[in-house]
């Protein structure tokens, strides 16, 4: 599979000391890292994503998926630091994945409207040699009480089609969100502050000298 170098910010905040691979094709995750000046390649994981098993919590499932993706990419790029993530939406502990179709997207949005749900992102960072950091972040998101017509119109835009929970807070779906408690970047798909904390601790990145 081809790898893709990510664009680098013209005013980088960090210098990258060890090659980094982002094990995700998500443009949101790519943009977060690129905006800070990190140098990395995009190598989406080829790992199959199994459905949750009975008793799976959103946290354990998201972490397991992130680690599975990360280790698959690390086997192909053993000399790089690998960053992998998996984001899920949960309502009262029930996982809501990507909708199967427009009808399923509308069903999910009707479940979420007027209620508070959780967005959980599992992360796995792997060093060359196998050392890893696996963790998750959880953010509470309160949806406003939108009408059926509003939700149907949103589904018709096509944005919910490939989004966990059938909405994108960084896109048109922002009109549905009333309140966010916790990390905003986590809702978009990557708890950036926590990822940077690990990369700085490991010495993978350092603040750019002025």
**Active-site residue identified among 86, 102, 140, 162:** 86
Tokens of 42: 């995009």
pLDDT tens digit sequence for 26-68: 999 999 999 999 999 999 999 988 888 878 899 999 999 999 9
Model pLDDT, residue 1: 43
Is 210 a member of any domain? Answer: no
Model pLDDT, residue 9: 52
pLDDT at 95 over 60: yes
CB 112 within 8 A of CB 178: no
Confidence band of 76 (pLDDT split at 50, 70, 90): very high
CA distances from 73 to 21, 25, 38, 58, 188 (A): 8, 12, 19, 23, 22
Is 162 a member of any domain? Answer: yes
- pTM, full prediction: 0.90
Domain count, the chain: 1
pLDDT at 6 over 60: no
Confidence band of 130 (pLDDT split at 50, 70, 90): confident
Where in the sequence is the domain holding 175, given as residue range(s)? 4-205
CA pair distance 177, 173, nearest whole angstrom: 7
Active site annotation includes 86: yes
Model pLDDT, residue 148: 97
Is 134 a member of any domain? Answer: yes
Confidence band of 5 (pLDDT split at 50, 70, 90): low
Share of the chain above pLDDT 70, in %: 95
Model pLDDT, residue 55: 81
Of 122, 125, 144, 142, nearest in space to 133 by CA: 125
Task: State the CATH number of the domain containing residue 144.
Answer: 3.90.950.10
Is 37 a member of any domain? Answer: yes
Is 148 a member of any domain? Answer: yes
Is 160 a member of any domain? Answer: yes
Average model confidence (pLDDT) across the chain = 93
CA pair distance 82, 22, nearest whole angstrom: 6
Model pLDDT, residue 97: 85
| Residues forming beta bridges with residue 91, ordered by sequence position | 94
Is 41 a member of any domain? Answer: yes
pLDDT tens digit sequence for 152-192: 999 999 999 989 999 999 999 999 999 999 999 999 999 99
């Amino acid at each position: 599979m081809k790898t893709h170098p990510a664009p680098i910010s013209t005013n980088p905040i960090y210098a990258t000391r060890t090659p980094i691979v982002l094990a995700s094709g998500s443009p949101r995750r790519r943009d977060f890292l690129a905006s800070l000046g990190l140098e990395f390649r995009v190598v989406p994981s080829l790992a199959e994503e199994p459905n949750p098993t009975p008793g799976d919590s959103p946290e354990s499932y998201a972490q397991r998926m992130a680690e599975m993706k990360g280790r698959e990419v690390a086997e192909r790029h053993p000399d790089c630091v690998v960053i992998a993530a998996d984001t899920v939406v949960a309502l009262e502990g029930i996982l809501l994945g990507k909708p199967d179709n427009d009808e399923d997207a509308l069903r999910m949005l009707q479940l979420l409207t007027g209620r508070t749900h959780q967005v959980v992102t599992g992360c796995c960072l792997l060093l060359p040699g196998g050392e890893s950091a696996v963790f998750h972040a959880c953010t509470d998101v309160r949806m406003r009480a939108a009408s059926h017509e509003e939700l149907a119109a949103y589904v018709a835009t096509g944005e919910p089609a490939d989004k966990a929970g059938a909405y994108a807070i960084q896109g048109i779906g922002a009109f549905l969100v009333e309140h966010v408690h916790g990390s905003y970047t986590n809702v978009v798909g990557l708890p950036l502050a926590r990822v940077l904390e690990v990369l700085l601790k490991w010495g993978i990145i350092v603040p750019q000298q002025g």
